[in-house]
């Protein structure tokens, strides 16, 4: 990897970015940790003082629709072929996405047989702190029952929390022709919106995505879901627009390296092929770092502040990757970039330095807000306890 000058880093830049959905009324003691097949347990918070602003992303759908497979492929790097051996989810599982990723939220995987009319199911508590609800529909199966469940789920969730982003993944489309994909999407879109209109809920907006775990469509769909939860998204897009316009670059993505979710891109349209090449470049850089990087006592993370790569494709296009933070990478594509990098390296370096500094300033503000909320939560918790550590329950 090519070394770069070290710049002063803001305090806490390696902390995960969390978003802006939080409810002071959330009942953190409603569920207990347990074994659910996930590393993180079931619906529990181990630290009552933890007040990171982590929105919930709910994965819902009928049994065998592919919910758990999506989670494992996107956030656990499981091979799509290995998901064939996953067992059906039989209880609600919650997992924090923050330890090894820049973005920070909670994925709640719901079993397909969940009954909203069960009096023991407190759906209001769950929907109240939710940022996005992803409903997965198996496109290769009869989806009449799925659409009925989708309508019930959306109407219940909207009454509790009108701010939820409703996302519909029309999943397992890898076995369909392009024409059949479009036909399925159009049919599901029409039926869903007709049902909402009949119920007088035309104001509810649903976004539809064609997805498959066997290509990059699932990563692109998740990217768009996560972007809606980032308050700083307009600022990031503006910074990327300024960077590419002053550097002669055609397209730029700001990637979360671990999940390969792009948290922002410039205002030009996203081409699927370009996105796939950028994802592949991240894999190549990390794989080469693991093979030819430091070993023994000197070993570190395969992706660090010195990570930088240039790949010249056989169609005269150049891919350019540069580390922004511990978890973020800037990946660019341009036909003229090879000339710019070698003929005018100072231009790219200077523009990137300005871009990186601006990114740090944007999220430094966010980190200060998180620390203030944590301090406030600690004080509130201490006022609710007596000296022997027993919690006081106000009457």
Residues 260-273, mean pLDDT to the nearest whole number: 92
Could you write out the three-class secondary structure of 317-353? CEEEEEECCCCEEEEEEECCHHHHHHHCHHHHHHHHH
Residues 50-74, mean pLDDT to the nearest whole number: 83
Residue 226 CA to residue 256 CA, distance in Å, equals 11
Residue 321 CA to residue 42 CA, distance in Å, equals 38
Residue 324 CA to residue 72 CA, distance in Å, equals 26
Confidence grade of residue 50 (pLDDT, cut at 50, 70, 90)? very low
The residues that bridge with 206 in the sheet, in sequence order, are 166
Task: With a cut of 70, say whether residue 39 has pLDDT above it.
Answer: no
**CB hemisphere CA count around 108 (13 angstroms):** 22
Task: With a cut of 80, say whether residue 369 has pLDDT above it.
Answer: no
Which of 22-31, 163-172, 250-259, 346-355: highest mean pLDDT?
Answer: 163-172
Which of 38-47, 150-159, 305-314, 345-354: highest mean pLDDT?
Answer: 150-159
Task: With a cut of 50, say whether residue 28 has pLDDT above it.
Answer: no
Dihedrals φ, ψ of 207, to 5°?
-105, 140
Residue 365's alpha-carbon distances to 17, 54, 242, 268, in angstroms, are: 11, 17, 21, 27
Quickly list H helices, the chain. 67-76, 123-128, 144-160, 178-198, 217-227, 233-247, 272-292, 337-343, 345-383
Residue 312 CA to residue 207 CA, distance in Å, equals 36
The DSSP secondary-structure symbol of 80 reads: G
Q: Which of 225-234, 349-358, 375-384 has the lowest average pLDDT?
A: 375-384
Do residues 146 and 137 lie in contact, with contact meaning Cβ atoms separated by under 8 Å? yes
In the numeric block, which tokens belong to residue 393? 């329950």
Residues 310-335, mean pLDDT to the nearest whole number: 86
Task: With a cut of 80, say whether residue 346 has pLDDT above it.
Answer: no
Q: 391: which residues sit within 8 A by CB, 6+ positions away?
A: 384, 385
Higher pLDDT, residue 285 or 3: 285
- Residue identified by tokens 């919106």 is 193
pLDDT value, residue 265:
95
Summary mean pLDDT of the chain: 79
Confidence grade of residue 371 (pLDDT, cut at 50, 70, 90)? confident
Higher pLDDT, residue 300 or 86: 86
- Residue identified by tokens 């209880």 is 91
Confidence grade of residue 54 (pLDDT, cut at 50, 70, 90)? confident
The rounded Cα 381 to chain-centroid distance in angstroms is: 30
Beta strands 308-312; 318-323: pairing state:
antiparallel
Q: Which of 114-128, 184-198, 242-256, 317-331 has the lowest average pLDDT?
A: 114-128
Q: Which of 8-22, 126-140, 260-274, 317-331 has the lowest average pLDDT?
A: 8-22
Q: Which of 177-191, 203-217, 306-320 has the lowest average pLDDT?
A: 306-320
């Amino acid at each position: 990897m090519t070394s770069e000058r070290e710049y002063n880093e803001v305090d806490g830049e390696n902390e995960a970015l969390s978003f802006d959905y939080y409810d002071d009324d959330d009942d953190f003691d409603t569920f207990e940790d347990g074994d659910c097949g996930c590393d993180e347990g079931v619906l529990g918070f181990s630290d009552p003082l933890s007040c990171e602003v982590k929105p919930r992303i709910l994965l819902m759908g009928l049994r065998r629709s592919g919910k758990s497979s999506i989670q494992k492929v996107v956030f656990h790097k499981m091979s799509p072929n290995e998901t064939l051996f996953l067992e059906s989810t039989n209880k609600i599982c919650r997992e924090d996405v923050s330890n090894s990723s820049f973005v920070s939220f909670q994925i709640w995987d719901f079993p397909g047989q969940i009954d909203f009319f069960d009096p023991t199911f407190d759906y209001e508590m769950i929907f109240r702190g939710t940022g996005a609800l992803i409903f997965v529909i198996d496109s290769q199966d009869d989806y009449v029952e799925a659409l009925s469940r989708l309508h019930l789920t959306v109407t219940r969730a909207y009454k509790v929390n009108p701010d939820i982003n409703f996302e519909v993944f029309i999943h397992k489309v890898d076995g369909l022709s392009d024409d059949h994909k479009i036909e399925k999407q159009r049919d599901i879109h029409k039926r869903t919106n007709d049902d909402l209109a009949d119920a007088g809920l035309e104001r509810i907006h649903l976004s539809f995505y064609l997805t498959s775990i066997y290509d990059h469509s699932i990563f692109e769909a998740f990217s768009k879901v996560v972007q809606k939860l980032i308050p700083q998204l307009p600022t990031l897009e503006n910074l990327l627009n300024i960077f590419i316009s002053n550097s002669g670059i055609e397209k730029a993505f700001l990637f979360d390296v671990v999940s390969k979710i792009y948290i922002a891109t410039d205002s030009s349209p996203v081409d699927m092929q370009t996105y796939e090449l950028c994802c592949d470049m991240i894999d190549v850089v990390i794989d080469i770092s693991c093979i030819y990087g430091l070993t023994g006592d000197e070993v570190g993370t395969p992706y660090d502040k010195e990570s930088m790569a240039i790949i010249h494709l056989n169609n005269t296009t150049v891919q350019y990757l540069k580390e922004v933070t511990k978890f973020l990478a800037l990946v660019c594509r341009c036909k003229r970039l090879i000339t710019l990098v070698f003929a005018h390296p100072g231009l790219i370096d200077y523009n990137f330095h300005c871009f990186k500094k601006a990114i740090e300033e944007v999220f430094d503000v966010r980190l200060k807000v998180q620390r203030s909320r944590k301090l406030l939560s600690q004080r509130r918790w201490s006022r609710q306890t007596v000296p022997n550590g027993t919690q006081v329950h106000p009457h």
